Amino acid sequence: MILMRRLRASFSRLGGLFGKRSHDRELADELEQHLQMHIDDNLRVGMAPEEARRQALIALGGLEPTREQIRDRRGLPFVEALTQDFRYALRGLRRSPTFTIVVVLTLAIGSGANAAIFSIFNQALVRVLPVPAPEQLVNLTSPGPKTGRTSTSSTFNSDAVFSYPLFRDIEREQAVFTGIAAYRDFAANISHRKQAWTEDGGLVSGSYFPVLELKPAVGRLLGADDDRTRDAHHVVVLSHRFWRTRFNADPAVLNDTLVINGQPMVIVGVTPQKFESTALEIRPQVYVPLTMAALMMPGLRNPHAGGGPWNGFEDRRDSWLYLFARLKPGLLLDTAERAVNLSFAAIINNVELPVQQNLLSPAARERFKSRKLLLEPGPQGQRPERAELSGVFLLLFSVTGIVVLIACANVANLLLARTAARERDITIRLSLGGSRSRLVSQMLVESLLLASAGGLAGLLVSRWTLSAIASVLPNEYAPLRFELDSTLMLFTFALAIAVALLCGLYPALLATRRDLVAALRGGSAGTRSAVRLRTWLATAQIALSMTLLVVAGLFIRSLVNLSHVDLGMRVADITTFRVSPELSGYPPSQSNLYFDRVTEAAKALPGVTSVTVSTTRVLGGSRSGSNVTVEGFNPGPDTNTSADSARIAPDYFRTLGIPLIAGREFTAADVVGAPKVVIVNEAFARKFNLGGDPIGKRMRPGAGRPPDIEIVGFVRDARYSQPKDQPAPQFFLPYRQEEPVGALNFYVKSAEPPERLVSTMRTAIGGIDPTVPVEDLRPLESEIGDRTMLDRLVSILSLGFAGLATLLAAIGLYGVLAYNLAQRTPELGLRLALGATALGVWRIVYGHVARMTLVGGIVGAIAALVVGRLAESQLFQVPGYDATVTIAAAFGLAAIAFIAGCIPAWRASRVDPAQTLRCE
């Protein structure tokens, strides 16, 4: 036995290591026994004797079997050592499939869930526009009083819109930008060779693409020459996505003609592939020169000329454009803002104020004169929804961060248990001459392998999570990409590797810090500290799970409250859709005739009991309104006199189930030429001090004119825009009493379920004129789902992540109990031999469970207070702390802990005292 003699000889030279020669002899004997065990194992699987010995030495020391390398592994080249570590780690993981699978799944859940949320957060709020030097872009806003019409879309507010004359004034007078651009979205009915689509369109100034410094994918982009003469530039640029999906990316589409809102437009180019929009929720598929606005939005009317033709290119009281600019190179944002406000102040006081001062109170006039032009960083484009989305993502990151922490604790616990089970082998390797750093390196390589597998599995978890989120989000978030990309893959792998390395380092250091002789004799260096650490990690998992369960409970309660909120109307039996005949070329005089035909066709369907219309989409999340003058109401200098408005048809309130308190609804006689009439709601009456009976009083939209419209109806409050919003002051006008409108939202009440009515209604309405698309045909009740999308998303994700976290915590608790009880097997055997009962063993186990659950539950409840406060702004009629939810979460967690402890307790109670004592 040459190898045996070499082994003895190597340890005879370690005399000073353990203090006494007899200890050296005992250590060598122990090593011989372990070496022979490994040789026997290798022979049993069919290895040749020499190979069996060689592999046994490698397994014990992780070394090539040479005397020099046994003494000092640090002599190996780095690549060779890394290769050996990789092979050894792979072999070890293959021999422990259960451990490997559990760690990989834990890493996948932790990294995958967090990466999915990061992907959406990155797209919505972090990713910069794919344009040259995006850091030079700035967004323009101007807070302060505005008179006249303020038109916004999506989540933009009134501070972000400017009139066309003001845009041109700023463009002409500024000296800090290389260019300033304006744009506005519009609804586009597009037809091409007997195909028709309804898409989002963008009206852009000639400076839009030059300011972004974009280059076309095909053809050319719009420029200054396309933005000189109103209604004269019939050219269009396609988005890359529209070109690819509708025209199969065919370059021959250039110079072809699209009909957009009844206007023939020549295709001159395609945008770059990666560019989609300068705003999150606006994804134009076609770009049209801004000077074509009147033709692209034929339904617009002049609110200051009795509803006459739109005059937005001259009217300084019509704010409808969004502006952004590019700073000159090297110019700081603060410096540019101070400089541009010098010219802006002159425009406001010398040009704007003379036009609008008669419509402003003295206090409002002073605020108007002090208006500033604010420059905000624009690398990500214009994202007014940032505040709302930031709160949601901060909360979701907190939730997924807790899941990651639980995954970390679980992985650390598993690695601690694995190193404890391998401590004798680790001791032998150290005794054979392996350095501590090399053993730590070997264990970290194993952690890296686990992290790589966990990262791959995490990509699947990310994909599933993104698919689940995509199924909840409404159509306006369709521009977000719910797919794997390079950023998501990198983040997933980085997170998995960070978790594995951070959790693997301490167990590796702990396992290699030991008394070799004591360990070989059966001692376990570091056992007590390792047991304490595993216990505290399991307790931390319980605490974090408690926090997530409470937060999930709060959101479930919030969602329940939201689903039972009183809207003030009945929507269950109503079907809604929208038609825009003017966008398909109908002249205003013919639009009302088309609406009449649609109304008759809808009434003729089986089960339909009433049909009505509105210019404002009910529960659509949008509002339209203006300042009002009310008879007998004298506003103060700072009084807000705005109110929401809608133009409606007869039977509107009866169809929607909104109670009429006094007066009457509109009738077919309320048309042009008849006495002007209006209906108001309770919030309107309260705001303008109309008392409980406003019938007969007068009001008028706008300021500075005597009220001349009689209030003939008084209705209950209802939530017309958002289910979470309180009812706003609202007034309603007959849509036939002013100039014809270009588009209407229809509401059809039927005895038939709306789901059955949808297909027959599409056929009936589409048969009137196939060139007019039927838009958003669906049950009105589905609008509520879209408006409560973020609430449902956070509730579903919180509940799902809380379930995953609790499962991980239960696994961690089970592992700790199983390992600790295995370590205490001799003690339990002795207790049973001395007369202890199985019930007593169960008490020992569940005493341990109770202590961890109690401590973890209390800490988790305290942490839930902090997270609950963070989430309070996202909750509906639920405080950040709810005792009922906390108690329910505590009982649920206790039940999970009880189940997790059953198997370890059962195994411990069945220990054979005689066999345990014989082993001892």
The model's pLDDT over 82-101, given as tens digits with 9 standing for 90+, comes to 777 777 778 777 877 877 88
Q: Which residues pair with residue 81 across a beta bridge? A: none
- At residue 372, what is the residue type? K
User: Is-contact 530 420, C-beta < 8 A?
Assistant: yes
- At residue 270, what is the residue type? V
User: Is-contact 62 1, C-beta < 8 A?
Assistant: no
- DSSP annotation of 382 reads B
CA distances from 445 to 101, 258, 408 (A): 17, 60, 17
Backbone angles phi, psi at 269, to 5 degrees: -175, 180
> Which residues, 6 or more positions from 398, have their beta carbon under 8 angstroms from its beta carbon?
867, 870
CB count within 10 Å of CB 358 equals 10
CA distances from 203 to 22, 138, 290, 436, 676 (A): 92, 19, 5, 68, 35
Angle, helices 21-44/423-431, rounded to nearest 10 degrees = 120
What gap in Å lies between CA 383 and CA 377, rounded to an integer? 11
878-905 pLDDT, tens digit each = 888 888 888 988 888 888 888 888 877 7
User: Is-contact 393 480, C-beta < 8 A?
Assistant: no
| pLDDT at residue number 46 | 66
| pLDDT at residue number 49 | 66
**Spans of the chain, pLDDT less than 50:** 1-25, 27, 61-75, 305, 516-526
Structural tokens at position 685: 């009456």
| pLDDT at residue number 637 | 66
SS3 content of the chain, % helix, strand, coil (to 5): 55, 15, 30
Q: Which residues pair with residue 745 across a beta bridge? A: 578, 614
| pLDDT at residue number 563 | 76
What gap in Å lies between CA 372 and CA 361, rounded to an integer? 19
Q: Which residues pair with residue 662 across a beta bridge? A: 714
Rama region for 522: left / alpha / beta (φ>0; ψ in -120 to 50; rest): left
**Residue 814, H or E segment:** helix 789-823
What gap in Å lies between CA 149 and CA 152, rounded to an integer? 10
CA neighbor of 170 nearest in space, from 345, 331, 379: 345
CB count within 10 Å of CB 175 equals 10
| pLDDT at residue number 146 | 81
**Residue 268, H or E segment:** strand 263-270
pTM over 0.75: no
| pLDDT at residue number 21 | 42
What gap in Å lies between CA 862 and CA 413, rounded to an integer? 24
